[in-house]
Amino acid sequence: MDFSEVETANEKIVNDFCRDWSLKDAAGLSKYLAADLTYQIAPGQPLITSFDQFVEQMGAFMTRMETIKWEIIRSHVVGPLVLNERIDYFNAPEGSKAPSMQFHVAGHFLIEDNKIKVWKDWPMPGAKQIVG
């Protein structure tokens, strides 16, 4: 496999992962995430350091949402590193105590052995993050 095929495969992993958030199944994302995943939702937030911890912390949140959709605006791939600009939509059911949220972020994904090993998101400078 030449280098461009690896990059294409890495981008597909990330794109499919982002798409499958719409299924609202944290455990089902295991096909994309390494068991020893490192994930940080935003700078200064605590690290999630395993897939099991990811499921524990994100699973209930995901199922509370009526819909989840991540819109990828653009992606760049360099070897094992995939960067994307996204708007993440988390829509709570009408009348729910949970708020609907929208985040404009830059995501950084490091792919190792066809799995996302490191994932960090940063708010886009100047972008309005909507909660409520």
Look at 41-45, 58-62, 124-128 and tell me which has the smallest mean pLDDT: 124-128
Rounded Cα distance, 62 and 23, in Å: 9
Question: Domain 3-131's class?
Answer: alpha beta
pTM for this entry? 0.92
Per the document, the length of the chain is 132
- The confidence score (pLDDT) of residue 2 equals 53
Q: String of b and e for 21-56 (b: at least 16 CB within 10 Å)?
A: beebebeebbebbbeebbbbbeeeeeebeebeebbe
Q: Where are the domains of the chain?
A: 3-131
Nearest to 82 by CA among 109, 112, 104: 109
